[in-house]
């Protein structure tokens, strides 16, 4: 494994501690921040919020984008807009970051865990169809769980590490069963499936700009949709449901203080100017890893799935078993190169242990073997 350490150190030209992924501010970030400060519009109203929303929507190919304080807020509001309410059920994958399930829980709904595909690490269309056929029925135009009698209101696949899942097949199944598709695209800015950007297949998509994402504003998120009514309501709900008025404070429902501040948007506008360069660097890095790991029979570099163009947000390898994974994690981290395992399955966390699941054999296989390796956007 010393060869791997040496290779990564040479890639990044450092023998100092190497984080898994760190933000890079290489363009107009300071300029736009100073402009924002000088304008005094530093909160949720300002030209950079509007500009970012317009530019982001254009980049992903959506009609509307609504900026939020973080990706979890974007997903929470997306689920509310999809009609998810207390005691509904929402299908998602167990192999995901906890924010996916937190957002479902904020709605008072219950997650259902369906297995992932090995090649995408995202929700499996085959497993989804099998689960629905065995456990659900359509009653009065609603998909109901035969066991719990609850309505399955939405489905939330997540594009793991920026690798698109088979989202067109998932959409077809959701339409058949009258389930609203909401994409957790937190990790997949710059990823495409069959030449269509992730997050734009479902009724709504949610993205994240946390500090470790390809572009960042420290936090931040965004909702995308092609539905004008949903976009208008998203902006209303994320702005405390305040009715427009020059000076009166009237709110017509329970709202959320989820709008992105102009300061964060200023950062993101500058980061958007660097996005194509960052994506190109990610792909160049993936090619170097792909070539390097061909010499290892027991370590597989995870590549973009068929029909997909991945952003390679986090580069990842697959070890032969859990013991090899643990040895790899220990060795690399002890040599100042931060690597990390994939998430613990949501179904194994204390708060979700009683959640209904399909057979999760693929998710368990990946949990025991996948490791993220150095993924910085600049070499």
Residue 196 belongs to a domain: yes
Is residue 121 left, alpha or beta, with left meaning phi > 0 and alpha meaning psi from -120 to 50? left
Q: DSSP 3-state assignment of 119? A: coil
Which residue, of 246, 273, 300, is where some domain finishes? 273
181-214: b (≥16 Cβ within 10 Å) or e:
bbbbbbbbbbbbbeeebbbbbbbbbbbbbbebbb
202 and 66 in a common domain:
yes
177 and 209 in a common domain:
yes
Would the pTM count as exceeding 0.85? yes
Burial class (CB in 10 A: 0-12, 13-18, 19+), 308: buried
Q: 319 has which bridge partners?
A: 299
Rounded to whole angstroms, how far apart are CA atoms 125 and 132?
11
Which residue, of 215, 249, 273, is where some domain finishes? 273
Tokens of 142: 């609603």
- Does the CA dihedral 74-80-84-87 come out positive or negative? positive
Q: DSSP 3-state assignment of 113? A: strand
Residue 338 belongs to a domain: yes
What is the total residue count of the chain? 379
142 and 90 in a common domain:
yes
33 and 18 in a common domain:
no
247 and 237 in a common domain:
yes
Q: What is the pLDDT of residues 238-285, one digit of tens each?
A: 999 999 998 999 999 999 999 999 999 999 999 999 999 999 999 999
Residue 352 belongs to a domain: no
- Domain total in the chain: 2
190 and 70 in a common domain:
yes
295 and 167 in a common domain:
no
172 and 33 in a common domain:
yes
The domain in which residue 189 lies consists of: 29-273
Output the DSSP codes for 127-189: HHHHHHHHHEEEETTEEEETTT--BEEEEE-B-GGG----HHHHHHHHHHTT-EEEEE-TT-T
Residue 379 belongs to a domain: no
Residue 377 belongs to a domain: no
Distance of CA 300 to the CA centre of its chain: 23
pLDDT (tens, 9 = 90+) of the chain, 379 residues, equals 899 999 999 999 999 999 999 999 999 999 999 999 999 999 989 999 999 999 999 999 999 999 999 999 999 999 999 999 999 999 999 999 999 999 999 999 999 999 999 999 999 999 999 999 999 999 999 999 999 999 999 999 999 999 999 999 999 999 999 999 999 999 999 999 999 999 999 999 999 999 999 999 999 999 999 999 999 999 999 999 999 998 999 999 999 999 999 999 999 999 999 999 999 999 999 999 999 999 999 999 999 999 999 999 999 999 999 999 999 999 999 999 999 999 999 999 999 999 999 999 999 999 999 999 999 987 6
**What CATH code is carried by the domain that includes residue 207?**
3.40.640.10
**What CATH code is carried by the domain that includes residue 342?**
3.90.1150.10
Which residue, of 211, 238, 273, is where some domain finishes? 273
């Amino acid at each position: 494994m010393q060869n791997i350490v040496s290779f990564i150190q040479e890639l990044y030209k450092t023998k100092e501690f190497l984080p898994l992924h760190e933000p890079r501010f290489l363009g107009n970030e300071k300029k736009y921040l100073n402009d924002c400060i000088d304008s005094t519009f530093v909160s949720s109203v300002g030209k950079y919020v509007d500009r970012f929303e317009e530019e982001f929507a254009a980049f992903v190919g959506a009609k509307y984008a609504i900026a939020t304080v973080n990706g979890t807020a974007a997903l929470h509001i997306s689920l509310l807009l999809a009609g998810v309410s207390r005691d509904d059920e929402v299908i998602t994958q167990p192999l995901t970051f906890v924010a996916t399930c937190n957002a479902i829980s904020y709605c008072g709904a219950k997650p259902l865990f369906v297995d992932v595909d090995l090649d995408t690490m995202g929700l499996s269309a085959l497993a989804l169809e099998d689960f629905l056929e065995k456990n659900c029925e359509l009653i009065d135009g609603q998909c109901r769980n035969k066991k719990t009698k609850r309505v399955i209101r939405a489905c939330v696949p997540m594009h793991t590490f920026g690798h698109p899942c088979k989202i067109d097949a998932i959409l077809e199944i959701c339409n058949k069963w009258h389930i609203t598709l909401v994409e957790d695209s937190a990790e997949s800015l710059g990823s495409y499936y069959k030449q269509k950007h992730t997050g734009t297949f479902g009724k709504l998509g949610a993205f994240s700009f946390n500090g470790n994402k390809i572009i960042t504003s420290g936090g931040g998120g965004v909702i995308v949709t092609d539905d004008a009514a949903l976009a208008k309501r998203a902006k209303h709900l994320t702005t405390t449901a305040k009715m427009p008025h020059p000076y009166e404070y009237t709110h017509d429902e329970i709202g959320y203080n989820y709008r992105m501040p102009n300061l964060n948007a200023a950062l993101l506008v500058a980061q958007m100017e660097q996005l194509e360069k960052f994506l190109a660097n990610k792909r160049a890095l993936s090619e170097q890893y792909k070539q390097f790991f061909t010499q290892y029979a027991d370590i597989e570099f995870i590549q973009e799935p068929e029909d997909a163009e991945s952003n390679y947000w986090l580069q990842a390898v697959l070890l032969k078993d859990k013991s090899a994974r643990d040895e790899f994690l220990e060795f690399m981290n002890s040599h100042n190169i931060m690597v990390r395992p994939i998430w613990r399955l949501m179904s194994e966390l204390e708060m979700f242990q009683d959640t209904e699941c399909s057979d999760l054999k693929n998710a368990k296989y990946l949990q025991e073997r996948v490791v993220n390796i150095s993924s910085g956007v600049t070499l």
